[in-house]
Amino acid sequence: MNRWEDEATLPTLDMRAADYVERRDSGSWTEKDEAELEAWLTESVAHRVSFLRLNSSWRRTERLVALRSPDNGPDASPDSHRGTRYLKIAAVFGMFLGLGGFLITYFTTPRVETYSTPVGGREILTLKDGSRIELNTNTSVRVALSSKKTRGDSRKGRSLFRSPP
Amino acid sequence: MDRKSDYRSAVVAPLPGAAKGTAVSAVDDWFEREILPLEASLMQYLERNWRNPSDIPDFRQDIYVRIYEAAQKEIPEHAGKFLLTTARNFLINKAKQARIIPIQTAGNLEEFDAATDMPGPERVVQGREELRHLQAALDQLPPRAREAIVLRRVHGLTRSEIARRMGINEVSVSRYLSRAICALADVLHGEPSNIRRRP
């Protein structure tokens, strides 16, 4: 004979006990709930052993908190996650700022290149921006090419600069 | 955080009924400390000695009730032996009721002794291993129940928060949670899982 007949079946009894276990461990548990649980537990030993058994394994699941990491946090709430989320947003924002800064510097800082001809040599260069430089023999020029302007300095010899057509 | 402190006190607080006398809480403690850790051995014993697996959870429950009632009179000295004697007598009675000649049951005294030596409380694993065990237990849950219990236990959400996130009502949430709690109890008390699974 089963001794938990009032609950019909063991699964039904266990479901009810599990419900008490979980609610008792939440913030919404009241004095009234405790009284109700007490009445239920004293009703039969079957209720009590079921509750004890589920409560004991429930407490073991306490360790599951260790699985919580900022990466697997639920998207909405809880509050404790909000801080790290803002931090993340800030980090991404900062990354973009850094990348932007780099790109701006990269494109605005002129790249300096030196072209030269040996004695007896003669060279006509076409630069990226379309300007042309004619280098006479034994000549050296430094060209600073940025997105906005091109600067050329004659280091030695003779050269002819022509702006883009 | 408020929730955290509530929850701690709830865990430490003795069960209702304990206030009436120390007896109830002493039996509760004993039952939890000495008997529940032997559940794997008990289940193994029952599975080995009873043909119909679907009877076994009910048998376990009945045996626990007997154990608890006996302990209310006097707490047995050797929990393991007492549990297995109770289990054996229970099966013999069941066999008689079912008019099964209890050869199978009576012939297993050696197994008893072996079972008494079975790893019991020492099987309670610690730290990382326990966590791995819990994770494996979670993996065995149905997806929705697992989702609910993870939100509850790992992320500490309330029922209403879980309901909102899962897009279901709170009654369903509590059903998923309860189902998960029952399933986790089977896995955690019945460890290791390779023993639980019958061929």
* Maximum separation of any 2 CA atoms in chain A, in Å: 116
Whether residue A132 has pLDDT greater than 50? yes
Residue B1 belongs to a domain: no
b/e per residue B102-139 (b: at least 16 CB within 10 A): beebeebeeebeebbebebeeeeeeeeeebebbeebbe
Work out the angle at residue A87's Cα, subtended by the Cα atoms of residues A85 and A90, and round it to the nearest 5 degrees. 110
Pick the more confident residue, A9 or B120: A9
SS3 (DSSP) at A66: helix
The Cα A129–Cα B127 span in angstroms is 67
In terms of domains, do B42 and B116 share one? yes
Nearest Cβ partner of A54 from B15, B159, B181? B181
In terms of domains, do B87 and B156 share one? no
**Structure token pair of residue A56:** 């004991």
Asked if residue A165 lies in contact with residue A129, where contact means CB atoms within 8 angstroms, the answer is no
Residue B29 belongs to a domain: yes
Phi-psi region of B110 (alpha: psi -120 to 50; beta: other; left: phi over 0): alpha
Q: Please check whether residue A66 touches B, CB under 8 A.
A: yes
The Cα B147–Cα B166 span in angstroms is 8
- Number of domains chain B is built from: 2
Residue-range domain boundaries for chain A: 5-65, 70-107, 110-162
Residue B2 belongs to a domain: no
Q: Please check whether residue B12 touches A, CB under 8 A.
A: no
In terms of domains, do B67 and B154 share one? no
Question: Smallest CA–CA separation between A89 and chain B, in Å?
Answer: 21
Q: For each successive 10 residues of chain B (199 residues), what is the average pLDDT? A: 40 49 78 93 92 92 96 93 94 84 49 46 58 85 94 93 96 95 89 42
pLDDT digits over B88-139, tens only?
Answer: 999 999 988 887 655 554 445 444 444 444 444 444 445 677 788 888 889 9
**Structure token pair of residue B47:** 């599975």
Residue B7 belongs to a domain: no
**Residue of chain B whose Cα is closest to the Cα of A26:** B7
In terms of domains, do B138 and B71 share one? no
Cβ neighbours of A14 in B, within 8 Å: 178, 182, 185
In terms of domains, do B118 and B21 share one? yes
Residue whose C-alpha is closest to residue A54's, from A85, A10, A91: A10
Residue B179 belongs to a domain: yes
Question: Smallest CA–CA separation between A87 and chain B, in Å?
Answer: 19
Question: Can you give the CATH number for the domain in which B131 is found?
Answer: 1.10.10.10
**Structure token pair of residue A164:** 């883009």
**Structure token pair of residue A20:** 């008490």
Range(s) of the domain holding residue B114:
12-123
In terms of domains, do B188 and B167 share one? yes
Q: Please check whether residue A20 touches B, CB under 8 A.
A: no
Residue whose C-alpha is closest to residue B102's, from B92, B113, B110: B92
Q: Please check whether residue A38 touches B, CB under 8 A.
A: yes
Q: Give the pLDDT confidence score for residue A83 in this predicted structure.
A: 55
Q: Give the pLDDT confidence score for residue A79 in this predicted structure.
A: 44
Question: Quick check: pTM over 0.80?
Answer: no
Residue B18 belongs to a domain: yes
A128 by Cβ neighbours in 10 Å (0-12 / 13-18 / 19+) ranks as exposed
**If you count them, how many residues does chain B have?**
199
Asked if residue B181 lies in contact with residue A22, where contact means CB atoms within 8 angstroms, the answer is yes
Amino acid making up residue A18? A
